Amino acid sequence: MKVKNIALFDSNKEEAEDFIKGLEQSTQQKWKALVYTANEGRKNRIGNLVRYFKYFFFPFTIFLHRKKYNNIVGWQAFYGLLFAFYCRLFHVKKVNTLLIKNFTYKPKKGFIGIVYFWFMKYIVKSKYIDVFVCTSQTFCDYCAEVFCEPKERFVFLPFGVNDFTERVDMSVPATNDYILSLGRSNRDWDFLIECFSETHYPLRIVCDELHKDNLPDNIRIYNNVWGEESFEFIKNCKFMIIPIMDGKIGSGETVLLQSMSFSKPIIITKPSCLADDYVIDGETGLVVSKKKDDMMVAVEKLWGNQELYKRLSSNCRALYENKHSLLSYGKYVGNTLINRGCLKR
């Protein structure tokens, strides 16, 4: 018997396993992970063109065979969005339930921003998407307002990630000798660098798109850290800082939960979706306003107060295990399909 329920991934089958298990446990149906890697880094202009071609090509192959499937989950959100784009472009009959996981929209500048908005609006307002899953209620409300859509189309589900401690050698003690900030999207790097520029605290920033000259000796930027190496960076940091640029935009959840899986406390700036829906101030991290003095008070607390540090570390790991595993996330998504009455059997 062929599996008629699919989830579209851009990672690998091993990383998809727990999510698929959660889907199957909640829906009581079989699911298959279809994996196609498009985003393999931004090396040069030609590499970017190839990457974009892949993003459009894979969903088109699913579109051509859409009648084979009952339910589709876009784990990689753009795979699901582009599938819906092709359905609307060719005015085909709706034959699938489609859920977009981790839906994200970040405005872009200039003419490209205008085109991007209307492209996304064309997709969002189609009949082909049944549920948009967002990683924050704040971002759900933002998307409903931006696209002038009913709020019930956007559902907040707590995000989940793999246990990345299984990807590194945890028998080797962590160095815990630097503060880490990692990511790309919606980060206020200028604020973070300004906060640390006249301090002795060792700050490491991992971001392939950030390039700064004449930094003080305590700040280092890494542009070529990927995959397993990034997990080593998290393992060996003392704690994580996530400085958010635009508080309405959902971003940083993956890095935050990866850090929690390694029992690393987090300092998160507010306003932000992370501060609203993920970090409990004083319990699983510290929430600070985007003021230099407030940031450095929080840094001093986590760097020097061992009792506070150990308590937050323990709470971070417990929260990850109880709420944010990939198995739990798969169950959340499956239950959403059932509760919305759109799961085909």
Is 60 part of any domain?
Answer: yes
Are residues 221 and 333 located together in one domain of the fold?
A: no
Tell me the β-bridge partners of 181: 205
Is 101 part of any domain?
Answer: yes
Q: Would you state the pLDDT for residue 40?
A: 62
What is the C-alpha to C-alpha distance for residues 151 and 258, in angstroms, rounded to an integer?
29
Q: Would you state the pLDDT for residue 273?
A: 92
Q: Tokens representing 220?
A: 């280092």
Is 88 part of any domain?
Answer: yes
Are residues 308 and 286 located together in one domain of the fold?
A: yes
Are residues 300 and 330 located together in one domain of the fold?
A: no
Is 135 part of any domain?
Answer: yes
Task: Say if residues 243 and 188 touch (Cβ distance below 8 Å).
Answer: yes
Bond before 271 cis per omega within 30 degrees: yes
Are residues 174 and 284 located together in one domain of the fold?
A: yes
What is the C-alpha to C-alpha distance for residues 345 and 185, in angstroms, rounded to an integer?
38
Query: The tokens 């948009």 sit on which residue?
Result: 132
Are residues 187 and 102 located together in one domain of the fold?
A: no
Are residues 142 and 60 located together in one domain of the fold?
A: yes
Is 36 part of any domain?
Answer: yes
What is the DSSP code string of 24-81? Answer: HHHH-S--EEEE--------SHHHHHHHHHHHHHHHHHHHHTGGG-SEEEESSHHHHH
Are residues 185 and 303 located together in one domain of the fold?
A: yes
| H-run or E-run covering 317 | helix 306-323
Q: Would you state the pLDDT for residue 304?
A: 93
Is 344 part of any domain?
Answer: no
Q: Would you state the pLDDT for residue 43?
A: 57
Q: Would you state the pLDDT for residue 201?
A: 98
Q: Tokens representing 278?
A: 């993920």
Range of the domain at 212: 164-323
Q: What is the pTM of this model?
A: 0.85
Q: Would you state the pLDDT for residue 1?
A: 55
Are residues 41 and 144 located together in one domain of the fold?
A: yes
Task: Tell me which DSSP letter residue 155 carries.
Answer: E
CATH number assigned to the domain comprising residue 304 = 3.40.50.2000
Please give the span between the terminal C-alpha atoms of the chain, in angstroms, as a whole number: 14
Is 345 part of any domain?
Answer: no
Is 56 part of any domain?
Answer: yes
Are residues 142 and 29 located together in one domain of the fold?
A: yes
Q: Would you state the pLDDT for residue 9?
A: 94
Low-confidence ranges of the chain (pLDDT < 70): 1, 40-44, 47
Are residues 121 and 209 located together in one domain of the fold?
A: no
Are residues 49 and 114 located together in one domain of the fold?
A: yes
Count of H helices and E strands in the chain?
A: 12, 12
Q: Would you state the pLDDT for residue 17?
A: 92
Task: Tell me which DSSP letter residue 174 carries.
Answer: P
Are residues 116 and 189 located together in one domain of the fold?
A: no
Counting the structural domains of the chain, the total is 2
